[in-house]
Amino acid sequence: MFRIDADRARFREIVRGRIRSDLSKYLSTPELIARQGEHAVSVPVPQIELPQFCFGANEKGGVGQGPGERGEEFEGEGDGQEGTGAAGEGDGQHILEVDVELDELAEMLGRELALPRIEPRGKRQLVSDSARYSDISNSGPDSLRHFRRSYRQALRRTIAAGEWDPAAPRVAPIREDFRYRARRIVPAPESSAVVIHMMDVSGSMGREQKEIVRIEAFWIDTWLRSQYENLEVVYIVHDASAKVVDHDSFFHLRESGGTKISSAYELCLQLIREKHRPEDWNIYPFHYSDGDNWSARDTEKCITLLRQEILPCVNQFCYGQVKSAYGSGQFKKDLDGALGSDERVVTSSVAERGDIHNAIRAFLGKGR
Amino acid sequence: MQPARRSRSPLSAELAHWAERIEAVARSYGLSFHPVEFELLDARAVNGLAAYGGFPVRYPSWRFGMEFERLEKGYQWGLSKIYELVINNDPVVAYLVRSNSLPEQKLVMAHVFGHADFFRNNCWFASTERRMLDAMAQHATLVRRRIDSQGLDTVERFLDLALSLENLIDPYLPLRRKLASGAQVAGAPAPAAGDGPTFDVLGFLCERAPLAEWQREILTLVRDEAYYFQPQRMTKIMNEGWASYWHSRILTGGVLDGSEIVDFADCHSGATATAPGRLNPYKLGIELFRCAERRGEDLMRLRRVHDDASFVDELLDEEFVASQKMFLYARNPRSGKREVSERDAAKVKARLLADLSWGGLPRIELAGVDAGGALHLVHHHDGRDLQLAKARETLARVGGLWGGPAVLDTREDGVGRRLRWRAGELKVEDLDTPIAQSAS
């Protein structure tokens, strides 16, 4: 369509304005996360209504049609829909879903929190092959047959063979004449980043703590995805030992054992060495816990690992402490004490959802 | 002026053949209509047109975009699909969805000829603008020009203000004028002179509100379009019933071949399906016409002289309510669910008539301008309260357009209320003397 697209664009602009002004609300709820598709989130917004004189709340009834005794309940479509022709009946808010591209959401986030853009480090440019069907080949499947090129070839052969008769311009292609569309491989530079989310899933991390981590991780991923052409996300859970898990397990797994943070950092380091080499990747480890560790010795080990092995490889290391009923919060103090002056380290502490806002700003505010 | 686009996508030879055939059959039954032009479009294009009320060119507004968004989502999720779209114009323009099967296209075409006959012959449509395609395009040009000179935000804000009041017209005014003068004038009736009382609040504001010239133009076009759409609102049941009655008769009278009957029945029963909590105008309408036919009434006369309310009033009786299993429902205050509350024919009929009268909208009359310069509106209460929160907002917009204080008298839970808007502030007072309850 033509004009309607302009009107839709205007409507979406108005809706985006509303989402933008409500963004701090979305920053503290998981509302958008469940609605994430590959490239967009679908945001539920109330239909924008122009006020008009209409019938009010004492008018829920109407005329219906069908079987049923007096007093018999029925399910059905929402109130007032075509009810008995009374327009505007029923005051239920009509909800519309509007797709917002993840890039756009990131842009809103960036504006809301005044985030600087990230300069990808050094020569972190992967060259990847992207393929487009812009080539022609002598063989291929029928579905890719290029009619015009095939015809041209047949015509050319017919003329060359002296069989062309302008009075009866007939061209009969033979097998050799057929041409097919083919892939052409185009090298494309690409900047890549990997986010390594690590979380303590020992008993003291409860549902609410994990929910906070989930919201933080969503916004972090959204922002980083907008800054790099290619973003990979890896999840590590740990209690006394660590393992790599998928997205769902990450937020739902619950273990009961103790907490040995160094296990996660070791696994993180192993991943960096084996799969996400710093020459090719911008690396972002995030670690979330309630601040308890098994022993001071293990904390010591974590700090050594960070200082000597991890920090030299990564863009930034972030530690997000989520307050729980059991956590002492000691780990953040130890990190701050040992590495607080290192600009590659960011720590934050979240006591409730309202603080998520500040944690995200702290993590992403350096533009690293 | 932008010319309206037409017949950009003509029918295939096969569909064109059937259109001709069906038209001939329709005429042989005595239907008469302005020429009908079909266009074949894909679903997305039809959704776009539907968002514009069927017109290819409308003034720019986010509301059309919102409606398009809704229709597109409904289509993508498989919740809804538009079969046909027809506009009251000379020529009548109708759109067919490309993906429909041949029996569906036949049904839709026959249905369209039914609508076209109704548009031409029903008395409520007698004074509608028949060059509406052109008029809409002119409105669009006018609004675009004003956007160029005044800026998008300014014009959009004013348009939204005006659209809040689009229902404040007198649906009976065009017909009254025609009966009084005997002359037939196409388009919205000229606003009455004087201080009221009048239901044509929009007309009054066009004449009397202190507006800039461009604002008056926009308010006038909103009013013109409201008067154009009003008859469709008042004859939804009849119009759909009539079209369904004829698609059924035409198709089963030789237009379908044997292999298509089941597809047709499937499609027809889908369109006329009922659900407990809603009245399907296709179903109610076709049943009323069939009921009239069984009683030996003159269907052509009925379709000429009635609107939904008078049609229901004339035909709906105890037998009809029982055979159609009609009932009243109400929300059970404890369970919150809706339940059947009444099957008494007289009560069902009374409620249905109340819902249909005045196009299903509250009757709001302009009583006049009082000594303090306030625009005085009166809600003719028929037992149904207004939604007060919206009424307050709307009244503020009336005041905004009037450029002075505005008052609305209504009732809430049996008590008279006066809403008074003045200088950005809204107050609610109790009315000492309750307003007389008017019968609808």
Interface check B103 vs A, CB under 8 A: no
Cα A208 to chain centroid distance, Å, stands at 21
* Residues forming beta bridges with residue A320, ordered by sequence position: A288, A348
Other Cβ atoms less than 10 A from the Cβ of B13: the count is 8
Q: Are residues B115 and B170 in the same domain?
A: no
Contact B327 A68 (CB under 8 A): yes
Q: Are residues B75 and B166 in the same domain?
A: no
DSSP B274: -
How confident is the model over A136-194, as pLDDT tens digits?
A: 888 888 888 988 889 888 988 988 888 888 888 888 889 889 999 888 776 666 678 89
Average pLDDT over residues A123-147: 76
Q: Are residues B391 and B413 in the same domain?
A: yes
Q: Are residues B106 and B181 in the same domain?
A: no
By DSSP bridging, strand A230-238 and strand A192-200 are: parallel
Q: Which of A2, A72, A84 to mutate to test the interface with B (most CBs of B within 10 A)?
A: A84
Q: Are residues B213 and B270 in the same domain?
A: no
Chains A–B, number of C-beta pairs less than 8 Å apart = 223
DSSP B252: I
Contact B328 A62 (CB under 8 A): yes
Any domain includes B388: yes
Any domain includes B391: yes
B81 in helix, strand or coil? coil
Question: Residue B295: which pLDDT band, with cuts at 50, 70 and 90?
Answer: very high
Query: Which of B183 and A76 is assigned the larger pLDDT?
Result: B183
Q: What gap in Å lies between CA A362 and CA A223, rounded to an integer?
A: 13
Contact B356 A3 (CB under 8 A): no
Q: Are residues B240 and B113 in the same domain?
A: yes
User: Domain segments of chain A: what residues?
Assistant: 1-48+93-114, 126-187, 192-364
Q: Do the Cβ atoms of A351 and A318 come closer than 8 Å?
A: no
pTM attached to this predicted model: 0.74
Any domain includes B225: yes
Interface check A170 vs B, CB under 8 A: no
Q: Are residues B214 and B226 in the same domain?
A: yes
Find out if CATH 3.40.50.410 is the number for domain A192-364.
Answer: yes
Tokens representing A161?
């063979």
pLDDT of A81 > 50? The answer is no
Averaging pLDDT over each range in A345-354, B238-247, B273-282, which range is the top one?
Answer: B238-247
Mean per-residue pLDDT of chain B: 90
DSSP secondary structure string, B113-154? Answer: HHHHHHHHH-GGGTTS-S-HHHHHHHHHHHHHHHHHHH-HHH
Q: Are residues B94 and B239 in the same domain?
A: yes
Among B172, B203, B234, which residue terminates a domain?
A: B234
Tokens representing B254?
């030789």
Average pLDDT over residues B62-74: 89
* Residues forming beta bridges with residue A120, ordered by sequence position: none
Interface check B5 vs A, CB under 8 A: no
Contact A54 B361 (CB under 8 A): yes
Query: Is ipTM strictly over 0.90?
Result: no
Q: What gap in Å lies between CA B214 and CA B230, rounded to an integer?
A: 24
First to last CA, chain B: 43
What range does the domain containing B422 cover?
362-430
pLDDT of B362 > 80? The answer is yes
Q: Are residues B20 and B109 in the same domain?
A: yes
Q: Are residues B110 and B136 in the same domain?
A: no
H helix or E strand, kind and range, residue B263: helix B261-271
Calculate how close chain B gets to A55, using CA atoms only, in Å.
4
Q: Are residues B23 and B112 in the same domain?
A: yes
Can you tell me which residue has the tokens 């052509």?
Answer: B300
Residues A266, A271, A272, CA angle at the centre, nearest 5°?
95
Calculate how close chain B gets to A44, using CA atoms only, in Å.
12
Any domain includes B318: no
In residues, how long is chain A? 368
Any domain includes B295: no
Closest chain A residue to the Cα of B356, Cα to Cα: A85
Q: Are residues B225 and B247 in the same domain?
A: no
Averaging pLDDT over each range in A43-47, A180-184, B335-339, which range is the top one?
Answer: A180-184
Contact A76 B275 (CB under 8 A): yes
Any domain includes B216: yes
pLDDT of B165 > 70? The answer is yes
DSSP B280: -
Q: Is A346 exposed, middle or buried (0-12, 13-18, 19+ CB in 10 A)?
A: buried
Q: Report the pLDDT value the prediction gives residue B439, as an integer from 0 to 100.
A: 43
Across the interface, of B275, B326, B385, the residue whose CB is closest to A63 is B326
- Number of alpha helices (DSSP H) and beta strands (DSSP E) in chain B: 17, 10
The pLDDT > 70 percentage for chain B reads: 95
Closest chain A residue to the Cα of B160, Cα to Cα: A50
Among B210, B234, B258, which residue terminates a domain?
A: B234
* Structural domain total, chain B: 3
Q: Which of B387, B392, B426 to mutate to test the interface with A (most CBs of A within 10 A)?
A: B387
Any domain includes B255: yes
Other Cβ atoms less than 10 A from the Cβ of B147: the count is 18
Any domain includes B54: yes
Q: Do the Cβ atoms of A154 and A177 come closer than 8 Å?
A: yes
